[in-house]
Structure 1
């Protein structure tokens, strides 16, 4: 690897050239890195500096449209006659523009707490969430959660579906709400199906005996049991094992359907894999869905019950790839002995990428914006704005990253950060070591135009006010990025469309050419 250019090491490692599509949402054209083959990240950082967050909401629409198309293909291949419902699990990213985009692309709504239902209620009142969508309410439900569900139903939203997680929930909800309810039950995993390395999901749901009690409790009432929730795990990593476990859930559904004729939805849960985290990603979505449909079809035929409408809850898959963080190298410290170099980022990795600490083996796609012709080096990244020894990536036991020979001012893009990262770290708060939130650029589709909105980074006064300090004299930004000199010829055309600091419509043209068209690349 000595003296080998980064571009050569990258090509050898991933089998893709330095020009064109890298994966389904990253491309490189004319030595410039693009998100969704639309957004010129080099030009964005030249205009706005770093650290910088870029959120490209049309990518969310694309993700939803892809999954719906794959489901249609699987239905045709398998001959499955049941429907398919795409629900967005809002806990992955609650940002208003994200939720609104997902709804606009046809997604139904999945909640996990009282606040989710309150947001959904408001979106429905505003006309953003149509009345013909389902709202699936999962998780353990305290009185506030149940009250929010009841209020939504009493207000006239008929398609809210509380998924009963314990029997007390059912009694409380029926006492709160006299209007007819659509209800679901979530199965509780048998001990043999619990992942020993991730046992947290075992606490959810009802045993078979408890589900029988729900059926009996609802008999001769105006309420209807309509959904069987068979969430297998948080992530579908082993499709064969997943389908084996789901086959048992399909049997349970079919037997329950014989007792409850109103049952019509089979929710196979979330955890759909996404290409957002690894350039080595491979997954046969159509094959996976086709196998699921064939399993359900054969099971229902064996029990002489109708094929249900499938429900999938897609969180990470929906939003992970629409966001990118661009961070700047502040200092390079040479490794000692044979250890890789330390690349100190003007930010905090544990604040910006909390999954790196929480999820064992969590990966992110990390690519340099430029310098691909520089010699490749093994490095570890560390946050410069904290004094925490845990603020580094990759984590212990993982191999170092391969990046071009690092230098202060180098820009590095972190992909796959659109799901959970800001929800776990919190938005608008005071973070570890008072690390400020970076500038955000939000790009949305508005009919035939793209609309850009800028959200300024946090400053010291805002952070100190959150902590209760008198801060009249503390209005300077915590960190002002120093922008490296940029050749005007590189950025003049793309930035012509970004001169407005707030909002500006940008024309939408033909399919993207190579870099150089201001109408398509920013």
Structure 2
């Protein structure tokens, strides 16, 4: 009999640092998942808070080691992209690590206010304000600056944005300019809709920033949708951006920082296949080489890591409700949730995550399709990152099978509209948090119960 445990051990270098098996049951970062299932039931979203801190410390270590190794003259600053996950427990865990914040929405400014009120940040924390800004966003940025948030930095996204700050900001202000990067060659359009054209940057500085003593251009910013990848496209865009930095630096002495937006990837399969150290060192080498060629001091570096910060901290756990053989060879396992509503990137972007059975590792495995609870034909999952198939154990009739999708901590709640109305009124699953106490013992608690029918009906306008 071909057992599920044999399949996994033969396919991957298993166990890994985060995935282990004891008594045919899966552990995730040392968490006995079956114990959580027995306590809380399914469907279940869990967030393991220490993973957020360990990811931040990993990135800081990579950049600081590379700076020392290459004798790089600039500093490194880690920012968390709030848009990856706005939850308070994510923000507060991340901020324990001496990081800063990158925002993309006016409502983020109110999160900044709430964090400051709780003492989680101070007025020296960098608030890198990105995005195309409507008046409300610009207003709240201006109010933060006027209230003494000295490192609240609007990143100008178009030529007219600074006009608002000239009218409403009454103190010395640091600003940045976002450059409109070219998209990947396979993209549907050539240049990003966000940011200022390369050819307009110097004119924007000389005509609108330099003449006003209140404003100081400190940062050039760019964003790469693909994230940091070892591709000719990435290196080409980085080099182009650094050359433009050098050009602007020669006319703007106070400019001293670049923000290389678009972060490190996370593991979408059980096995890691990304060389973080090589990529970090190569980024610094590229910047250092171009600055030397141009006779310009090496800039300070900001990164904005969202998926990398929070993605690997979370998992979605489901029960297999039943199996259905729909023809001679298509066997379906039906889950007690929905991919469209719980993991929308699986549907929208064909995103893959590490998928593992949580129990029955000693049972025979079989090829299956996973079906969600909505009526939509697209609510399915039938391939993994390493394979165009999905294999899971054959469960006994009287014992449930549980499965987990891992590294699901970024964007899924935001995209699915957490707590709102879902396709076919599928509720948001309960969400639990897992941490360790001072002695390293695991502790867990419920952040939110499964969404109720009352909350949905209230949103829809029904009287209940």
For the aligned pair, the TM-score class normalised by the smaller chain equals over 0.9
| 1:391 counterpart (379, 394, 410) | 379
Which residue does the alignment assign to 2:327? 336
CA contact under 8 A between 2:25 and 2:361: conserved in structure 1? Answer: no
Corresponding residue of 1:417: 408
- The SS at the match of 2:149 is coil
TM-score using structure 1 length: 0.83
1:371 aligns with 2:360: yes
Comparing 27-36 with 149-158, greater Cα deviation is found at 27-36
Deviation at 1:233, TM superposition (A): 2.5
Contact 1:74–1:287 (8 Å) recurs in 2? no
Pairing of 1:156-305 with structure 2 (within 5 A): 156-190=148-182, 194-197=184-187, 199=189, 202-216=192-206, 217-220=208-211, 221-275=213-267, 277-305=268-296
Tell me which moved more, 399-408 or 448-457.
448-457
**SS at structure 2 position matched to 1:133:** coil
- Correspondence 1:150 to 2:142: yes
Aligned residues: 457
Instruction: Find out whether 1:25 has 2:14 as its counterpart.
Output: no
Report the equivalent of 1:62: 54
Aligned equivalents of 1:336 and 1:236: distance in 2? 43
Q: State the secondary structure of the residue aligned to 2:301.
A: strand
Residues 329 and 407, structure 1, Cα contact 8 Å, conserved in 2 = no
- In 1, the alpha carbon distance for the partners of 2:431 and 2:274 equals 31
Task: Give the whole-Å Cα distance in 1 for the aligned partners of 2:142 and 2:317.
Answer: 43
Identify which range, 60-69 or 449-458, moves more after superposition: 449-458
Deviation at 1:296, TM superposition (A): 1.0
Tell whether 2:335 aligns with 1:345: yes
Q: Hey, what's the Cα distance between the residues in 1 that align with 2:125 and 2:348? A: 33
Which of 91, 98, 102 is the aligned partner of 2:83? 91
State the distance in 1 between where 2:32 and 2:424 align. Answer: 32
Q: Which residue of 1 aligns with 2:103?
A: 111
Instruction: For residues 423-459 of structure 1, give each alpha carbon's deviation from its aligned partner in whole angstroms, at most 9, with x where no partner exists.
Output: 1001111211111122221124565566532132222
Over 3 Å counting, the alpha-carbon distance change for 1:302 and 1:396 in structure 2 is: closer
Taking structure 2 as the reference length, the TM-score comes to 0.93
Q: Quick one: structure 1 residues 93 and 303, their matched pair in 2 at CA, closer, same or farther if it must change by over 3 Å?
A: same
Distance 1:125 1:155 in 2: 13
Cα displacement (A) at 1:406 = 4.4
In the alignment, structure 1 segments of 5+ residues that lack a partner are: 472-522
Q: Offset of 1:201 from its aligned partner?
A: 6.6
Aligned residue number for residue 4 of structure 1: 2
Query: Who is 1:362 aligned against?
Result: 351
What is the correspondence of 1:31-50 to structure 2 with a 5 Å cutoff? 31-37=24-30, 39-50=31-42
Residue 230 of structure 1: SS of its match in structure 2?
A: strand
Q: Give per-residue Cα distances to partners, 1:388-436, cap 9 Å, x unaligned.
A: 2111113799722111124662111110110000110011112111111
Q: Secondary structure at the match of 2:223?
A: coil
Answer whether contact 1:185 1:227 (CA < 8 A) is retained: yes
CA distance in 2, matches of 1:42, 1:314: 31
The offset of 1:26, in angstroms, is 2.5
SS in 2 for 1:203: coil
CA offsets, 1:316-349, max 9 Å, x none?
111011111110011100241233x111011112
Whole-Å separation in 1 of the counterparts to 2:381 and 2:229: 23
Asked whether the 8 Å contact 1:332–1:407 carries over to 2, the reply is no
**Per the alignment, do residues 406 and 383 of structure 1 end up closer, same or farther by CA in structure 2, a change over 3 Å counting?**
farther
